[in-house]
Amino acid sequence: MIEFALSALIGLFFAVSIYLILSKAIIRMLLGITILGNGVNLLIFTLGRITREVPPIVPDGLLQPATTTANPLPQALILTAIVIGFALFTFLLVLGYRAYQELDADNTDNMRLAEPENAPRPPLSY
């Protein structure tokens, strides 16, 4: 069954993307997030069951599809997900780029503006 093969591939998508996201380099994290998005889309697609080569389109003149078609619901969900994933990708890219410009760092170890290494301790007084 194709679903089993796809499941294995999706596992690989998850493994690779998680490994990339755990990196300290912003750009590798970005690649990881993009791949994770693809993996999740494929996961939804596969779990909606696979039907080969029959798109969910009603032929002209008919009121209902003549044969079994691919499951349309996951496709609609994924279409939305792809577009939103792309918006997220561009935003993160620009954010990473600006962070690189401002902080001169693409390594999260050097991005300590919000959580500085020696943050002030809370005052022990009233």
Is residue 18 a contact point for another protein (CB under 8 A)?
Answer: yes
Reduced to 3 states (helix: H, G, I; strand: E, B; else coil), residue 115 is coil
Shortest Å distance, C-beta 120 to another protein:
10
Shortest Å distance, C-beta 61 to another protein:
10
**Are 69 and 29 spatial neighbours (Cβ–Cβ below 8 Å)?**
no
Is residue 97 a contact point for another protein (CB under 8 A)?
Answer: yes
Q: Which of residues 64-83 bind another protein (CB under 8 A)?
A: 64-65, 69-73, 75-76, 78-80, 82-83
**Are 2 and 50 spatial neighbours (Cβ–Cβ below 8 Å)?**
yes
Reduced to 3 states (helix: H, G, I; strand: E, B; else coil), residue 114 is coil
Is residue 103 a contact point for another protein (CB under 8 A)?
Answer: no
Reduced to 3 states (helix: H, G, I; strand: E, B; else coil), residue 120 is coil
Is residue 110 a contact point for another protein (CB under 8 A)?
Answer: no
